[in-house]
Amino acid sequence: MKTTLRVLAAATLAAGLAACASNRADMAQSSTPVPATVSSSQMRMFTDAARQVSAIDSQYATRMQSVDPMQREMLDREANGEKARAVNSAGLSVIEYNAIAMAVRDDPTLMRQYSEMSYQGMSGQGMPQQGMPQQGMPQGRPRY
């Protein structure tokens, strides 16, 4: 059970971190400030946003496999817009989302809190059956 929790949490975090890692708009800024503390409310919003971003990545990854490079670039921009809207609808700006992602990556206590919230969010759906896709799990290397 603990191993499953760790795998689910790590995969969901990986999706969120990978999704926020290459946001071109944020790269133009000098750096993303890492918050000194992350409240429970912010962590809930981040967890919800990461789950939505991962789902968007999964949807677009399938579509991008069968298109030419020009269409892939257009789909990538479309996906980035949807991910930004998902982050905003969860109550965070993209900059806040990226800052929390970095804090979670660097702080074991925040990582544990994120893991627990991710698991709780998925536990309402029951544990995924073996061989079945898991919501919030990354499909390929998402870019955001």
> Would you say how long the chain is, in residues?
144
The answer to whether the Cα torsion of 38, 39, 44, 49 is positive or negative is negative
Amino acid at 132: M
- Can you give the pLDDT at residue 143? 40
Q: Which residues of the chain have pLDDT under 70?
A: 1-34, 36, 121-144
Q: What is the pLDDT of residue 37?
A: 86
Q: What is the pLDDT of residue 118?
A: 87
